[in-house]
Structure 1
Amino acid sequence: ASQKLEEKLVCSICLELFRVPVTLPCGHNFCKGCIRDHWHKGQQAPAAAKTGYTCPECRRDFERCPELEKNVTLWNVVELARDGDARGSGTGRCEVARGELCPQHGRPLELYCENEQRCICCICTVRQCQGHRRVLFEEERSKKQTFLEESLEEAQEESERIERAMQELDEQTRSIKDSSDKLKSRIQSKCTHLRKALEDFQCQVVARIEQEQVSRLERLEENWSLLKDSLDVLTQYKEKAQNLLACPDHRTFLQELPRLPRLESPEALVPVEFDVAHVIKPILETLADISRLLLEDLPGSVTPKAPNPTGQAPSTPLLFPDHCNLTFDPETANKYLELSRGDRKAKHIPSAICRQQEQEPRFEPWQVLCMQSYDSGHHYWEVKISSHAVILGVTYRGLPRERQHGHSFNIGLDSSSWGLQVREDCYLAWHKGQAEKIREELYKNLGVSLDYGKGLLSFYGLGERTRLIHSFHDVFTEPLYPVFWLCEGRVVTLCQR
């Protein structure tokens, strides 16, 4: 009965409870604003479509616009209905909180509209949501609750993942701070040593240059004195000769001529040269030692480590894109080394002389240079060896051709060459006659990386994993040539790409 009463208090134009109800002469009720807007729209229509003043319910026409007076009685009933909806009445309806009322109609929310995804009242059911799928709150909550529980589990898992990620970031932060502090301390220590080394170096170099200067100037002064004495003798000779030539008496001329001193060749001057190379050589050696001092024990960012791929052989063209194709120099090859495959393969044949040995520029040891040389940039090449008892390295062009120090090779025995000797049980890194022993797996495929500008020479073992065997740090001052030494029966092949 309450619902039927409420339906009678609804304006048929706006479908809402009457706001200011007015009654037309035909007895039908409307909101004052709704009927006025309805008639106003009818008056503005084209002449053929004008409707005049007509009741929207019964279509009764009025000759003139009826007076629209507020229906006070109906207004009071509407207000009572509104108050009853908001506060409840004597019909037994429970008191309803504001959040449980329909915001449009002020009625209790009783159903859920799946189409509009909202809670609705009975008036919404009849009007806006007529024909929509409507379900009870309990049914819709059951579906929504299942979804919410799944969403909550996902949120919990995501929260745990984020917390783990935050912990990892915290650990990385601590690691970076620790590494940074250690690196700063190490760099500060090395810079302190560097300053001390440079100060000592400066004093030694300046003293050496001054000593060389004094020595050369003394020799120049001696040469100047010799020239001055010779000039004085020549001046006296010229004076006596001119006087004799001016003598008019023939007898006197002939008697005095033998008494003139003979012109003698001046004493040979001592060659004097300020040998810059002789002065610079120890300077370069000291700078190399200082460079090594700075580079030793620094992290892998300074000494690059070989990559550590898993599951397949390394892709060295990606690691070192600037691969070089080398060829052996036949003019430098020892007479027992046979070159083939376009001078890319060298084999030591001890029983046959492959070429006549010459004084220059062939090696007396079983060695050979490559044609290529490098004085800047980064370069990489690969070699394949048949077995151990092989040395590979780089050298300046002036590497001695004869045997030295009783060795069968001379790679790495001075300051102008660097070499890696492959032995049966280890490797030996040679430089300045000193060998550093390296325990590592024997590789038959080896890679050499040369970064001339950084003074970095690295040797890699190439297998299922690429592994750094050894790195040299030095200051390079001349073009570097790849060089090889082969024991009897050994074969070295230069890999091409």
Structure 2
Amino acid sequence: MAKAKEEFGGAGSLEDELSCPICLGLYRNPVSLSCGHSFCKQCIQKALGTQQQSKAPYTCPMCKFHLGPILELQKNFQLCSIVEAFLATTSKGQQDQGSAEGKKEMVPCDFCLDWSQPAVKTCLICDASLCQAHLNKHNAKASQQDHVLVEVGAGSTAEERRCLEHSRLLECYCQDDGQYICVLCSVAGRHKGHSIITLKEAHDKQLGELSDMVTQLQEHKSTLATTLEELQRSEDQLKTNMKTVTSQLQNVFDKMKTEIIQKEKKILSDIQSDEKKQLADITKVKKEMEQRRDEAVQHLQSFQKMREQPDIFLFFKQFKLAKDRIASQNFGVSGTDVAVVQLDHTRINCYQHLMQDFMGRLDSLLQDVHREWPALTRQLRTADPERTTASRGVQ
């Protein structure tokens, strides 16, 4: 099975990829739909048959792609070959694993006389394998308390504990070369004259170094934890400050926009009121002029008729009455002054200058807020883990 996993990049994940989405088992006679998804032929036929009974259009069970009224189930030969190869390799791997387990031999105890019991440990000093009963006797002797016990059949592990040159146990430690050696290496070998100590002494020394390293790492851990807490507080404070500043600036700009909109509405309302008033005055004057024009037309028409009057007495009488009426009426022309409001270039330039001056003052005020940010940045830099560690004298 291990070999199969190596060849296929993990049998479990590959088996999932080679499983039918409907029955969740390995593909059997896999076929593909026009959308690209594959199923067991029998599984997809059952699914499509259910859709046909419910008079629903044929769709893919996976992606709901409409397949059309005419179905073509194409056999996926490549997927079929992959499934067959997977099954063959998996079966072979299982057989190999079973054979390896069957070949694992039992190591007998070297001290059993009549019927050898399986050994559970091997003593490297005694060079013997011991069953549980003889292991208990072995450990009960005070002289054998320091013997080295390893798992039965350790193989390379046991060999690593012996000197390659003298085939003796590595019982000493050369401090000059930093190597494990046997007794002969320290007496007649290339480590003669070196600073030699026992493995127990070397173990105690390394335990001391280990303890120092643990203490040092604990100090680093504590310092880093404190620094992370400071950074978290700085991050929270920064977010809080930015949220407050953003809210304040939004309120300022909202008020500015509200005042500008109100000012715009008032100015436009005043202009519209002036327009209505002047239009009303013009309309009144127009009506008066139209009335005078109509009266003048009527008098002209009456004068035209007087010319045709043959009776002189009546002519004088009518003419006198007409002159009296005209004398009593006002035919004068009156107008009204119109206030013409125009935005010339001078005024437009003045407004633009005022706007630029206002924006400049606003930028100056906002820069005061920006000047506070570098101070916060410096605070964050002083909270840098390496700087903090160095400042506290942690090596």
Q: TM-score, normalised by structure 1?
A: 0.28
Instruction: Considering fraction of residues, name the structure with more helix.
Output: 2
| Structure with the larger RCO, 1 or 2 (CA within 8 Å, 6+ apart) | 1
Instruction: Considering fraction of residues, name the structure with more strand.
Output: 1
